[in-house]
Amino acid sequence: MKYMINEIEIIINNKVLEDLNKLFEFCQRFETGGILLGKFSRKKKIIEVDEIHEIKATNSSCVTYRRNVDMAQKIIDKRWKETNGLLNYVGEWHTHPKMTALPSQADIFSLIDIISKTETILPGTIMIIVGNNGELTITVGNRETIQSYLFANIK
Ligand SMILES: [Zn+2]
């Protein structure tokens, strides 16, 4: 899939979507989530999402997911080394088992916080949310704006 979101070309490979659906089906009781790894060009304003990694939450409920930051950094470093610097951190993903895939206010605050740490590196930071009823949102933010796209019936 290829989309223009927030003036950035976002490419998401099919394996990523399959993995997201699998993880959503597998964990219906609690929110789960993790990080997105891929390639990007700041100059061309392109981000390609190639891999997702699930990261066990330090605490999780039906409405909140807080990922383990140390674990995330370990995976980012490991994949960066294994791919000779090809795969980098490009964003976050999580599930909303009992809600719409639209980002909550807490999600937006969390994204703003991540943008403040990644804006000098990434052309934009991605947040993918898988919600109930086959919904999925791709949110892309930078210092200026945050834009979300909602996809229905992704299955
Ligand atoms: Zn959320």
Domain count, the chain: 1
Q: How many angstroms separate the alpha carbon of residue 38 from the centre of ligand 1?
A: 21
SS3 readout for 114-136:
HHHHHCCCCCCEEEEEEECCCCE
Q: How many angstroms separate the alpha carbon of residue 84 from the centre of ligand 1?
A: 32
Could you report how far apart the first and last alpha carbons of the chain are, in Å?
14
Q: How many angstroms separate the alpha carbon of residue 132 from the centre of ligand 1?
A: 12
**CA nearest 87: which of 95, 77, 97?**
77
Q: How many angstroms separate the alpha carbon of residue 40 from the centre of ligand 1?
A: 24
Distance CA 51, CA 88 (A): 10
What would the pLDDT profile of 120-134 be if each residue is shown by its tens digit?
999 999 999 999 988
**What is the domain-level CATH number for residue 135?**
3.40.140.10
Q: Residue 101 belongs to what domain range?
A: 2-151
pTM value? 0.92
What would the pLDDT profile of 136-146 be if each residue is shown by its tens digit?
999 999 999 99
